[in-house]
Amino acid sequence: MVTAAPQIGVLALQGAVAEHERSLRSVGAQVRTVRRPAELEGLDGLVIPGGESTAMARLAAPVGLMPAIRARHEEGMALFGTCAGLILTANTVSDAEALQGYDRIGGLDVVVRRNAYGSQLDSFTTDLDVAGLAEPLPAVFIRAPIIEEVLDGVEVLAEAAGHPVAVRQGRILGASFHSELTRDARLHQLFTELAR
Ligand code: GLN
* Domain spans in the chain, listed from the N-terminal domain onward: 7-195
Q: Residue 1: its pLDDT value, please?
A: 56
Q: What atom of ligand 1 comes closest to residue 50's alpha carbon?
A: 8
Tell how strand 137-141 and strand 124-128 pair up.
antiparallel
From first to last of the 196 residues of the chain, give the pLDDT tens digit: 567 899 999 999 999 999 999 999 999 999 999 999 999 999 999 999 999 999 999 999 999 999 999 999 999 999 999 999 999 999 999 999 999 999 999 999 999 999 998 888 888 999 999 999 999 999 999 999 999 999 999 999 999 989 999 999 999 999 999 999 999 999 999 999 999 9
Q: What atom of ligand 1 comes closest to residue 49's alpha carbon?
A: 8
d(CA 196, CA 179): 20
Q: Which residues line ligand 1 (CB under 6 A)?
A: 50-53, 83-84, 87, 114-115, 142-143
Q: Residue 119: its pLDDT value, please?
A: 84
7-195 folds as Rossmann fold (3.40.50)
